[in-house]
Every structure is written in structure tokens, then in C-alpha cells.
Amino acid sequence: MLATSDEVGRQRALDALDLLDQPRDERVDRITKLAQELFDVPMVSVTLLDRDRQWRMSEIGLGGREAPREDAFCDATIRQPGTLVVENAEADPQFASNPFVVGDPHLRFYAGHPLQAPGGEKIGTLCILDTKPRVLSQRQRELLEELAAWVQKEITREGEVALAAIVQRALAPHTIPSLPGYTIAAQTKPAGELAGDFYDLFLHNDRLRLTLADVMGKGTGPAIVAAAARAALRTAPERPLATAIEQLDRLLESDLRDLDMFVTAFHAELDPDSGEVTFVDAGHSLAFVFRADGSWERLRMPALPLGMGFGEARTAATARLMPGDSLVCCSDGLLDVLDPEDPFGDVATTLRRHGPADAVGEAIRRARSHRAEDDVTVIAITRD
């Protein structure tokens, strides 16, 4: 085993990546299949070394994803520098009596290269194995090291994306503001780990400020832009809504000029006493008032998305919620899980049947069951 302090740090780094006991990763499986073809071996494994076990993130020919860590060749690999190559374990004094040599799977050849966490801690190996002795050339050693570096990038990326998702969730509103006389609900369901959608709800001078925005695309890039856009709109909430949107537009135009990426947004403020909703729509066009009498109207204005480089002047418009009316704003991902024949009738029926909180929950459930390919975000506010 490693020294206690080294092992504690190594285990902490492995746990932080959240790779143990996870389903197989197709990208890592692709590398193990390639390694099997390149080296013509019956067994390949991407092995993570947990406290007292080996967890095979990907494996070929070993018959299972878990094995004891004790006496493991991979454990020996992380305790020495560079690649460990055992050409004939039966003739090697260090491994001749190893239970994996004298017993199943009767290993003779092993070559493994360590995999490191972002901090340099050795968390596992990429290894190739055979039941016959073999010799590994210098070029083959270099190739194994290159494949291990590829695996390392993939698993580190997984950890970084998981951490980014945690940070993104931390930036989302932790609680829904309480507004007497109104019922408010909101949720986001990312298509992947990270969302390019975001919503924001907070009280400012006893009024409810709400935003829903959708960054073109999916993944890390749009998630970064979404976080920046949310922060920009949160800054100086005393600004008029149109001014805040114009300033965000200029910021995105400057930052995204070379990325062909833009943001649609609905930014609004609700006066709870009068029910008046003041809003600016920047190319979003997916905000609606569903009336108590069953009718509905779209809150929209002819305006371009943000970041397109036209420096468009923005104006605010108003609508009013009467008792029993609901304001609903969504991202376009919701359209994929609604009734295609009558999507807005579907929303109205769901609101009447379930109320805002359960209606939003129903939208998210549909997104999960349909495995929606786009992020789905919904805000619903009903004047009681």
C-alpha cells in the first residue's frame, strides 16, 4: 500500500471525480476496444483503485467490473514510476506466487500505465493482459502511454463536467420567493450534465424580478455563457429592465463576436398589488398569459436575440394578471414534450388540472420520460 498520507490524498482525489460504480462510458469503452486491437491481447482494463477493491471503469475479457485490490498488478503499477511491464509473471520473483498468476485468470503478461487525477494523484491504470508471455517494444510502451493519456483526459473531463454541474446548480435559485396572493414554481431539466438554459427569481423592492434565458447550444460553453448572463442581469437591479437587457446585449456582442452564439431572453418584473407584468422579450417569444376563462395570449415583441451584434434598442411592454390568471415562460425544449397538435392547449389543461407547481413538475417528468434532447426550463406564476 502507499504511505497513509499519500493513500488518503489519492482516495480523496478519486472520490472527487465520482467515477466509481457508474455505468459504462462509451468513450472509454472505445479506447479499451482500440487497445485490444492494437496490442492483440485478450484482456484490457481501465481500472480505478478504490480502498480495498479494483473497479473496472471499462474492461474486456476479465469477466466482471470488480475485483479485490490486494495483490493486484494495478496496485503495484501506481506504486512505481511510469509503465509497469511484466513479460512473464510466472518467472518474475515479484509476481510468481501472485494469486492472479497461480489461479484464475492465470496471468503471464501484464503492462499498465498509471492514470492521474487533476492534482497528480495516481487513481488507476490502463492495462493490457495476456495468459501467455509477451515482449513489449519501446514503441508499444509509448503507444500504451499515449492511450492512457487519452483515457486520463476523458475521465478528468467527466469529473470537471460533474463539478461544473454542481456549481451550476448552486447558482440556481435555492428557494422560490414567497409572494402573498401568488403561487410560483420553476424548474430546469438539462439535456445533459449542464444546461444552456437558466431562470432567476428574486424580490426587489417588494416586486418579483424574473428571468428565463436560453443560450444557443448545449454543454459547457453555453453553460458558461448562461452563468455570465445571469450575473449581468442580477447586477444593479434598480436599472430599468430595457437598460439591463441592452447592457447584456452589448456585453455578449463583445464576448461572443467570434462564436456565432446568441441568447434569447425574457426579463420581467411583477407588481403583486396590481398584477402588472412589465417585460422585455429578446427573441424568446415563449412567455404566455393563460386566462382564468381558458383563453391565452403570447407576450412577445419583434426583437432579436442578444449577442447578434445589431445593438438593438430595447423597449418594455406590459400585461396584467387578473385573479386566476397564470404567467408561463418556458424554453423551447418544452415544445418537444407537449402535444404537437395543440401545445398551448396542453399547457392550459395541465395548469387547470394540476396548478402551477405540479404543472411544472409534470413538464419536467415528461422531459425525463421523453429523454428530451434539449434543455427544458419552465416558470409558472398564478395569481390566486
Which tens digits make up the pLDDT trace of 5-50? Answer: 578 889 988 988 888 998 888 889 999 999 999 999 999 999 999 9
Task: Work out the average pLDDT over 57-71.
Answer: 94
Strands of 69-181 (E only): list them: 84-86, 109-116, 122-130
Q: Any idea which residue has 442578444 for its cell? A: 306
* Spatial CB neighbours of 268, under 8 Å, sequence gap ≥ 6: 209, 210, 211, 241, 277, 278, 279, 280, 287, 329
Which tens digits make up the pLDDT trace of 286-311? Answer: 999 999 998 999 998 888 899 887 77
What class has domain 173-383? alpha beta
- Give the span between the Cα atoms of 293 and 99, in whole angstroms: 76
Residue 324 in grid coordinates:
386566476
pLDDT score at 162: 65
SS3 92: coil
Which tens digits make up the pLDDT trace of 338-378? Answer: 888 888 888 888 988 888 889 999 999 998 888 778 889 99
Which tens digits make up the pLDDT trace of 142-184? Answer: 999 999 999 998 887 766 666 667 667 777 788 899 999 999 9
Q: What is the CB neighbour count within 10 angstroms for residue 160?
A: 13
Residue 240 in grid coordinates:
430599468
Beta-ladder partners of 123: none
pLDDT score at 211: 96
Say if 4-166 and 173-383 have the same CATH topology.
Answer: no
Helices (runs of H) and strands (runs of E) counted in the chain: 8, 16
Task: Work out the average pLDDT over 56-64.
Answer: 94
Residue 384 in grid coordinates:
390566486
pLDDT score at 29: 93
Topology of 4-166 in CATH? Beta-Lactamase (3.30.450)
List helix spans (H) across 18-137: 26-39, 73-78, 99-102
Which tens digits make up the pLDDT trace of 188-210? Answer: 988 877 788 999 999 999 999 99
Assess contact for 17 and 50: CB atoms under 8 A: no
103, burial (CB in 10 Å: exposed 0-12, middle 13-18, buried 19+): exposed
The sheet carrying 53-60 orders its strands as: 66-68, 53-60, 43-49, 122-130, 109-116, 84-86
Sorted by where each begins, the domain ranges of the chain are: 4-166, 173-383
pLDDT score at 9: 86
- pLDDT tops 50 at residue 1: no
Please state, for a pLDDT cut of 70, what percent of the chain lies above it.
95
pLDDT score at 71: 92
* pLDDT level of residue 123 (50, 70, 90 thresholds): very high
- Give the span between the Cα atoms of 297 and 288, in whole angstroms: 6
Which tens digits make up the pLDDT trace of 231-278? Answer: 899 888 899 999 999 999 998 888 777 676 789 999 999 999 999 999
- Give the span between the Cα atoms of 193 and 257, in whole angstroms: 26
